[in-house]
């Protein structure tokens, strides 16, 4: 069984002979001339030096170089990652420290696709460490803007993604004393790109739907607390968020939310350096 490229990601998982042969070149049983990247090194055994039991790829692509030439972070060989022998995801730091964009590794074949939407150990190793206390779903139509919301006290961290459609997703640092106070970052999340955004506790969050509709998913680090529920105005001039839609549909609550400068300091999250 051989996986293929999906969404620009190379997935290298395949079957090979049960007993390893020191002359085996990751696909020799399929093609005696195949050396899993022969242009690199005809004696290369595609992972054997890393893990003698590792069979990287079978007959995926004669130009495939077992990950290393394509992506230096690719873990070609289970010995590099004791949890799993692949990258599983790419984590991108945004301009706001702590806010992270996650691009999962997607595996696919003729039957469909598979990817890990959350793995506690791997996410913690990437600096996204939290316990899932609540999972939420919202369905919104085109042009709906939800936000900017936060919770204080009892702040929530949120790992968010889109299961259907597309949104422009925003995180704003509103922590008192933060060097990035009042700054924002954004990402396009969609069912097609499968990206996730991690918004740590202490940040405000909002999104606007840019597709016909969107099914939005939240994993929260703390349960919803009505008494701590808070928000600020989506179009606060002091934030100057570059929303892609100028006239979104809002709830009455979001339309009447205060400007950031109007919020009492004790109603804003603390910053812990």
Per mean pLDDT, which range of 54-58, 120-124, 172-176 is the poorest?
Answer: 54-58
Which residue is catalytic, options 34, 118, 218, 271? 218
> Look-up: residue for tokens 């055994």?
45
| pLDDT at residue number 87 | 54
Per-residue CA distances from 131 to 8, 88, 107, 122, 180 (Å): 31, 20, 26, 13, 26
> Where are the domains positioned within the chain?
1-86, 91-267
For residue 164, the cross-strand partners are 215
Give the bridge partners for 191, in sequence order.
Answer: none
For the full predicted model, state whether its pTM sits above 0.85: no
If one looks up domain 91-267 in CATH, what number appears?
Answer: 2.60.120.10
Instruction: Please tell me which residue, 175 or 13, carries the higher pLDDT value.
Output: 175
Q: What number is the average pLDDT over the span 151-178? A: 97
CA–CA separation, 195 vs 27, rounded Å?
A: 33
In whole angstroms, give the CA distance from residue 122 to residue 108. Answer: 21
Is there a contact between 36 and 44 (Cβ–Cβ < 8 Å)? yes
The three-point CA angle 230-233-234 to 5° equals 115
Question: Is 119 an annotated catalytic residue?
Answer: no
What confidence tens digit (pLDDT) does each residue in 107-158 have?
889 999 898 888 899 999 999 999 999 999 999 999 999 999 999 999 999 9
Whole-number pLDDT of residue 19: 42
Task: Give the integer Cα–Cα distance in Å for 102 and 33.
Answer: 38
The DSSP H or E segment spanning 254 is helix 252-255
The average pLDDT across 206-232 equals 97
- Distant-in-sequence, close-in-space partners of 255: CB < 8 Å, separation ≥ 6: none
pLDDT in tens, 246-270: 999 999 999 999 999 999 999 999 9
Mean pLDDT, range 75-84, rounded to an integer = 37
Query: What is the structure's pLDDT at 232?
Result: 97
Single out the residue of 49, 46, 48, 257 nearest to residue 147, CA to CA. 257
Select which of 149, 180, 205, 217 is catalytic: 149
Q: What is the DSSP letter of 158?
A: E
């Amino acid at each position: 069984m051989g996986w293929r490229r999906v969404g620009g990601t190379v997935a290298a998982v395949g079957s090979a002979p049960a007993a390893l042969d020191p002359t085996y070149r990751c696909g020799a049983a399929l093609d005696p001339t195949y050396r899993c990247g022969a242009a690199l090194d005809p004696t290369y055994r595609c992972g054997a030096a890393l893990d003698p039991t590792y069979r990287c790829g079978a007959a995926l692509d004669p130009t495939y170089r077992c990950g290393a030439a394509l992506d230096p972070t690719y873990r070609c060989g289970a010995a590099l990652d004791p949890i799993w022998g692949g990258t599983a995801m790419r984590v991108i730091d945004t301009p706001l420290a702590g806010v992270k964009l996650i691009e999962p590794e997607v595996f696919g074949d003729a039957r469909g696709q598979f990817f890990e939407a959350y793995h506690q150990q791997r996410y913690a190793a990437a600096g996204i460490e939290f316990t899932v206390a609540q999972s939420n779903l919202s369905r919104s139509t085109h042009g709906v803007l939800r936000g900017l919301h936060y919770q204080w006290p009892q702040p929530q961290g949120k790992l968010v993604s889109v299961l259907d459609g597309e949104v422009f997703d925003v995180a704003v640092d509103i922590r008192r004393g933060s060097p990035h106070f009042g700054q924002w970052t954004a990402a396009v999340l969609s069912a097609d790109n499968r990206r996730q955004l991690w918004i740590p506790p202490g940040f405000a969050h909002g999104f606007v739907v840019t597709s016909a509709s969107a099914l939005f998913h939240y994993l929260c680090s703390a349960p919803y607390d009505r008494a701590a529920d808070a928000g600020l105005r989506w179009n606060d001039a002091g934030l100057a968020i570059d929303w892609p839609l100028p006239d979104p549909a809002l709830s009455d609550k979001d339309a009447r939310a205060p400007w950031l400068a109007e919020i009492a300091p004790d109603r804003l999250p603390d910053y812990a350096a």
